[in-house]
Copies of this chain bind each other. A is one copy, B any other.
């Protein structure tokens, strides 16, 4: 992203999945607005757990909002992925230099990268050849302290705007919910095999009909020290580079030998 050093400012697209009014997105805007021209296109309501959903069956709405001082911003009726697509085609009319998503209220480490609207927005940018980062703080509270997360967001985005790693670069960054003085720095990791073990809470409505709430316990099956879960437990800011080629190449080699015999 050599543009960062020309007189033209880099364009930084910001979105999230908690919705445009969440404190986390304001924290991200404030953390990076000195690094370029920030434009916000974010959902008009919470969209947590939307994964890589897109809106096909009905149209989208988008309106300008004036809630970030001096920053061009739009709320959109769609999913986080819709926001990225719409921002590129109808707001920026170009690819931004970088796309940032978050700061999410709550963790998106391990398998949660797949369910997360925050990370799906970042991955969508990466598919569109826009380098991207999703930021998540391990604190669901609306009153969460984003100070440490903001410090590392600024540090990382400044670095990425100078370096030209890969047009498909996508980073999943999680920040422990501890005082910033306790943070030990960035640690590059792989995604842990850790997940929620689901249990549905079965209830009866006032008419005697059943309904189910998704709940679960988080279990880490991955005992390695090279994972995001380990890094976060040890007060590191975890950085997992994420890819959108889901091909399982090891299994591909096995299946090439066996499945062709079925023909």
Contacts and interface: CB of A to CB of B under 8 A. Distances in A.
Interface stretch (A8-16, A27-35, A94-102, A247-255): A247-255
A52 B115 contact: yes
Nearest to A221: B129
A89 B199 contact: yes
Contacts of A178: none
Contacts of A251: 165-166, 169, 241, 243
Contact of A90 (B54, B86, B202): B202
Contacts of A235: none
B214 A60 contact: yes
B51 A214 contact: no
Contacts of A188: 252, 255-256, 259-260
A186 B262 CA distance: 8
A138 interface: no
Contacts of A256: 188
Given A49-B55, A189-B252, A193-B245, 14 more contacts: A46-B57, A48-B56, A51-B54, A52-B115, A82-B214, A86-B200, A89-B199, A111-B127, A127-B195, A186-B259, A188-B260, A240-B247, A241-B247, A242-B248
